[in-house]
Structure 1
Amino acid sequence: MAAKYAGGCAHVHVTSNAEPIDNHECHCNVCKSVTGQHTTHVAFFNYGDLNVDHPEKINRVPFNKDNPNGPLEICVCADCGAALMLDDKQKRIRVAVPNIMGYDDAAFPKASYHAFWDETKGYPSPTDGRPVYGGLQPSFVWPKGA
């Protein structure tokens, strides 16, 4: 049976049948720097819900170049260099960026809110009717790590 969410590349497959625990449009400067996008659709999964078939084929690089020892790492394919997921060293979450990491973006639920927006970025607040927050939505609770 095919996974509900499937991404990755020809060498490493990243899959989940679980729903994301958070699904937002990110406006943070780190996402902008890493993706080159104005905003980025980001889906958080519980750590154990996003599965990798060949973890031995993953290279890891810091997600935030200004905080290289931070908890998140970008996982890329050792064979082709494709971005696969963000992995949390504390094993709380794994993150899919559907339009960059080989997923069918249309298969994901629409991002339910805007995260990490702030007025100093020089563009107007989103007006699409979804809530806009300066961080993650207030009801988000980080899962316990392993």
Structure 2
Amino acid sequence: MAAKYVGGCEHVKVSADAEPYDNHECHCNVCKDVTGQQSTHCAFFRYADVTVDHSDRMKRMPYNKDNPDGPLELCVCAECGSPLMVDDKQRRIRVEVPNLMGFDDANFPKVTYHAFWDETKGYPKPDDGLPVYDGLKPDFVWPEPA
């Protein structure tokens, strides 16, 4: 039986059967730098809910170039360079950006809020009816490490 969410590339498959732990539209500068998008649909999964079929074929690099020793790593395919996921060295979450990581974005639940927006971004505050926060939503709690 196929997993509910499947992405990756022809060399490395990434999948999850569980629903995202957190699902938001991110406006942070790190996501902007990494994705080239003004805002990014980020689906946080609990670490153990995401499986990778050939993790030995992944190349890891710091997610935040200004904090290279930080907890998040961008994982790309070592063969074709496709982005696969953002991995948490503390084993709390794995992040998927559906439209860039080989997933069907339409298959994901709609985002529930906007994160890391601030008025210095140079564009209007989102007005789609979703809550807008200057960080993760106030009741967000990091999951326990796997």
In 2, distance between residues paired with 1:83 and 1:122?
A: 27
What does residue range 110-129 of structure 1 map to in structure 2 within 5 Å? Answer: 110-129=110-129
Pair 1:145 & 2:145 matched? yes
Aligned residues: 146
Same amino acid, percent of matched pairs:
71
Are 2:74 and 1:70 aligned?
no
Aligned mates of 2:120, 2:96 — CA distance in 1: 27
Give the ranges of 4+ consecutive aligned residues of structure 1 lying more than 3 Å apart after TM superposition.
Answer: none
Q: What TM-score, normalized by structure 1, do the two folds share?
A: 0.99
The whole-number CA distance in structure 2 between the counterparts of 1:36 and 1:79 is 22
Query: 2:60 corresponds to which residue?
Result: 60
Say which SS state the counterpart of residue 42 (structure 1) adopts: strand
Deviations 1:84-112 (A, max 9, x none): 00000000000000000000000000111
After superposition, the C-alpha distances for 1:8-40 in whole angstroms (9 at most, x for unaligned) are: 000000000000000000000000000000100
For residue 129 of structure 1, what is the amino acid of its counterpart? G
Shift of 1:53: 0.4
**In 2, Cα distance between equivalents of 1:134 and 1:6:** 30
Distance 1:15 1:130 in 2: 27
Counterparts of 2:84 and 2:31, CA distance in 1:
15
Q: Within the alignment, does 1:105 sit opposite 2:109 as a pair?
A: no
Aligned to 1:33: 33
Match of 1:130 in 2: 130
Match of 1:48 in 2: 48
Question: 1:88 is matched with which residue?
Answer: 88
For residues 40 and 6 of structure 2, what CA distance do their matches in structure 1 show? 18
Letter aligned with residue 130 of structure 2: R
Per the alignment, residue 8 of structure 2 pairs with 8
Aligned equivalents of 1:48, 1:90: Cα separation in 2: 12
Separation (CA, whole Å) in 1 of partners of 2:140 and 2:12: 30
Segments of structure 2 that go 5 or more residues without pairing to the other structure are none
- TM-score scaled by length of structure 2: 0.99
Displacement of 1:122 in angstroms is 1.4
Query: What CA distance in whole angstroms lies between the structure 1 residues aligned with 2:35 and 2:94?
Result: 17
Q: CA RMSD in A?
A: 0.6
User: What CA distance in whole angstroms lies between the structure 1 residues aligned with 2:30 and 2:21?
Assistant: 21
Per-residue deviation at 1:63?
Answer: 0.3
